[in-house]
Amino acid sequence: MTFTTPQILSLLTVCIAWAACKPGVGQPPYLVTNYALLAVHGEPAEAKPGASVTYSFLLASPTGPVDSPEVLWDICQTPKPPSESNAVASACAGTPDAGVGEADQTFTAAIPAKACQLFGPIAPQPAAGQPAVRPRDPDSTGGYYLPVQLWLPNLPTGPLSGFAFERISCSLANAPSLIVQEYNSKYQSNLDPGIDHTDVVDAAGTRLSLDAGPQEVAAGAVVTVEATFVDGSAEVFPVYDSQSEVLVDQQESLHVSWFVTGGTFQHDRTGVAAGEAAVSTRNQWTVPAQPGDYYLWLVLRDSRGGTDYKSYTIHVGS
């Protein structure tokens, strides 16, 4: 199956950034009834130009995680023109060139040397005869991101494509020198958050650890699934406020996207807002009425682009 450029761009609007590939209209976003690319992950979560990053991904299906699909990788080095509304340039949306992509489950590559010019606060050199190009604006956390494409060309239901958005460590721009010095002394590159463990709690208060192995729950029951974060997952970091010309400390927010192959979740996504002291998040799951094995995925993201995910099997008894 081959996608035209408009088809690819349409697909990318739902398979991009820190979101999962969404199901069809009318189907809950958490319900996995087809192949679904749930996350693309870079390690480390933030890196300087020239540093190496290893990328991996989470691919789900109605029969559980998919471990060894054919995959191609590519690093986008084309900034998105102001005239385009997608998250990445259309030039980066096609099938990776054979000489650029890498057919492997993981992909290790260096952040391009000019990443802060292409996607960050340093204005790139304009092409001959062209007007100057303004630098990129940071997101609300002061971050800039490199798009790294994952292409899954030969799934049984057709190709899927998605992007990791790797946070780039760039210099603080348009700030007084003393602020830059303070920022450089305080700022720590983002580390990935983590899911420490996940439990299922039934109506009687019985707690079952999913990390200990597949657990059995009663068909049709209403249970609570609780994910506890690794200590320190919500990091504190400085952000430059250009209006007041001061550094302001922010704490990362954390959110979990929930996915399952059956039953009903109360929420597609839950989490902890910036500044909250909670160390876990929970969701209510109405267990399927049909006995059998079901698969659960949790994708944890922080507000600076860090990611973690876990996969579980739950047995539904009669």
What's the CA gap between 127 and 51, in Å, rounded? 27
Contact present, 195 and 298 (Cβ < 8 Å): yes
Task: Tell me: do 236 and 296 sit in the same domain.
Answer: yes
Residue 215 lies in a domain: yes
- Helix (DSSP H) and strand (DSSP E) numbers for the chain: 3, 20
State the pLDDT at residue 102.
62
Other residues' Cβ atoms within 10 Å of the Cβ of residue 307:
22
Q: What does the DSSP assignment read for 213-273?
A: S-EEEETT-EEEEEEEEPTT-S-EEEEEETTTTEEEEEE--EEEEEEESSSEES-SEEEE-
Contact present, 73 and 64 (Cβ < 8 Å): no
The predicted-structure confidence for 228-241, as pLDDT tens digits, reads as follows 999 999 999 999 99
Print the domain residue range for 23.
5-171
Residue with tokens 């200990």: 212
DSSP-derived pairing of the beta strands 307-317 and 215-218: parallel
Token pair recorded at residue 262: 């059956």
What's the CA gap between 258 and 285, in Å, rounded? 10
The ranges of the chain with pLDDT < 70 are 1-25, 97-103, 127, 129-133
**Whole-structure pTM value:** 0.89
Total domain count, the chain:
2
Contact present, 184 and 283 (Cβ < 8 Å): no
Task: Tell me: do 124 and 265 sit in the same domain.
Answer: no
Task: Tell me: do 155 and 120 sit in the same domain.
Answer: yes
Token pair recorded at residue 109: 């590559």
Task: Tell me: do 137 and 244 sit in the same domain.
Answer: no
Task: Tell me: do 110 and 60 sit in the same domain.
Answer: yes
The predicted-structure confidence for 129-171, as pLDDT tens digits, reads as follows 666 667 888 999 999 999 999 999 999 999 999 999 999 999 9
What's the CA gap between 188 and 78, in Å, rounded? 27
**DSSP 3-state assignment of 203?**
coil
CATH number, domain with residue 276: 2.70.50.30
Token pair recorded at residue 246: 């001061």
Residue 116 lies in a domain: yes
Residues facing 254 on adjacent strands: 272, 302
The predicted-structure confidence for 165-206, as pLDDT tens digits, reads as follows 999 999 998 899 999 999 999 999 999 999 999 999 999 999
State the pLDDT at residue 1.
26
The proportion of the chain whose per-residue pLDDT surpasses 70, expressed as a percent, equals 88
Task: Tell me: do 88 and 207 sit in the same domain.
Answer: no
Token pair recorded at residue 165: 């958005």
Task: Tell me: do 133 and 87 sit in the same domain.
Answer: yes
Identify which of 206, 205, 251, 202 has the alpha carbon closest to the alpha carbon of residue 229.
Answer: 251
